[in-house]
């Protein structure tokens, strides 16, 4: 997974985690144990009635609502990732 993530360096990505959190930000680096994002919207989906899919789509259309300068995400908690630009309207 590390090498796959590294293909997205310096791009806006969405990371789904094993918890209720999703992360939207710029991929800065990937280490052996974590993913580092900058200008990050760290969003706990249990804090809102909006679905993850709708929240991510709104972020694509209105821009990332950055609430963290930098976030380190444990690589073991990454379920999936994609480019923000690849998010489709549904």
User: Which tens digits make up the pLDDT trace of 15-56?
Assistant: 999 999 999 999 999 999 999 999 999 999 888 888 889 999
- Identify the CATH number of the domain in which residue 7 sits: 2.30.30.100
Q: Could you tell me the residue range of the domain that residue 60 belongs to?
A: 2-85
Residue 65 inside a domain? The answer is: yes
pTM: 0.94
At 47 the pLDDT is 81
- C-alpha dihedral over 51, 53, 58, 64, to 10 degrees? 100
Residue 29 inside a domain? The answer is: yes
At 73 the pLDDT is 97
Residue 90 inside a domain? The answer is: no
How many domains does the structure of the chain reveal?
A: 1
- Chain position carrying tokens 């300068």: 69
């Amino acid at each position: 997974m590390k090498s796959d993530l590294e293909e997205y360096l310096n791009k806006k990505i969405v990371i789904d985690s094993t918890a209720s959190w999703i992360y939207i930000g710029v991929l800065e680096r990937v280490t052996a144990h974590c993913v580092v994002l900058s200008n990050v919207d760290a969003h706990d989906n249990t804090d809102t009635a909006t679905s993850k899919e709708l929240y991510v789509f709104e972020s694509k259309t209105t821009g990332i609502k950055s609430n963290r300068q930098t976030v380190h995400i444990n690589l073991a908690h990454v379920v999936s990732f994609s480019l923000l630009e690849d998010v489709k309207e549904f």
